[in-house]
Structure formats: structure tokens, C-alpha cells
Structure 1
Amino acid sequence: MSGTVKGPASYFPSIEAKYGRPIADWKSMIRAQTGLKHMELVAWLKSEHNMGHGHANALVADTLREIKNES
């Protein structure tokens, strides 16, 4: 099995490089935005942090997956 990262996490190195924050910071900020749905969180990242759609979508998808698995 190869060590290639797939799915939303494959975007994480470029997100950290482009936006200058660790993924853990972005996920904490997403978690703090309570009551928002997936696309609302994507729109928030795009408007408040000038993040591209693909990067925002990857972060939100992975964070919401983690939250779901914690339940």
C-alpha cells in the first residue's frame, strides 16, 4: 500500500503553505462556527479568509467528518 494521501487531506500541505496556518488552526476555527452547514462554512472561509473553494471545501469536509466520527 502506498503512502499517498488521498481525499481532502491531500490538500493540506498546500493549504498550510498558501495561507500560513497549520491545519489544526483552521479546523479549530471551523469548529468555532457553530450552527453552520457545510456550504455556509465554505462560504465563510472564502469570504473571511480569502480561501479558494477547493481548499475551503477540503477543510470543511474533513473537519465535519471528524466531528461526525466523534459522536
Structure 2
Amino acid sequence: MSEPVKGPASYFPSIEAKYGRPISEWQEKIRASELTKHLELVNWLKAEHGLGHGHANALVAHTLKEDAAGS
């Protein structure tokens, strides 16, 4: 049996179900934004796209962590 998903990625199934878009699309939006700071991106997702705080926070945290690991 595999380990349960933990951390920000544990929110991904509910984000996709609630907002009807794949995680990759949200990550593209985050990466395309001119904003770079975590809280700015969270607030932008909430204001412009109607995400809840927890979902926006999970997407931003995961995306910024991926980007930092890849650079």
C-alpha cells in the first residue's frame, strides 16, 4: 500500500473537483503572474479566481517549492 499524500498536494483532488481545473492549469496561472511573493499570490488567487484560502495557499506553496527545486 502506498503512503497517503501529505502536505499541499493533499488538497489537489478537492481543488480539481471544486474548481473544475487541473492543478497544472493553476500552476501555469501562478507562474504566469507578475506576482512573486507567497501571500500576494494567495490573495490574487482568492480575489481573481474565487479560491478559498487553504486551496490557494496549497497551490502557491507547492508551485513555489517546485520552482525553487528546479532552479
TM-score when normalising by structure 1 = 0.94
1:70 aligns to what? 70
Contact 2:35 2:41 (C-alpha < 8 Å) held by counterparts: no
TM-score when normalising by structure 2 = 0.94
1:49 to partner: Cα distance: 0.6
Paired residues for 1:38-49 under 5 Å: 38-49=38-49
Gaps of 5+ in 1: none
**Taking every aligned residue pair, what percent have the same amino acid on both sides?**
69
1:42, 1:13 → 2: CA distance?
18
Distance change >3 Å, CA 70–CA 34, structure 1 → 2: farther
1:2 to partner: Cα distance: 4.1
1:57 aligns to what? 57
Gaps of 5+ in 2: none
The size of the alignment, in residue pairs, is: 71
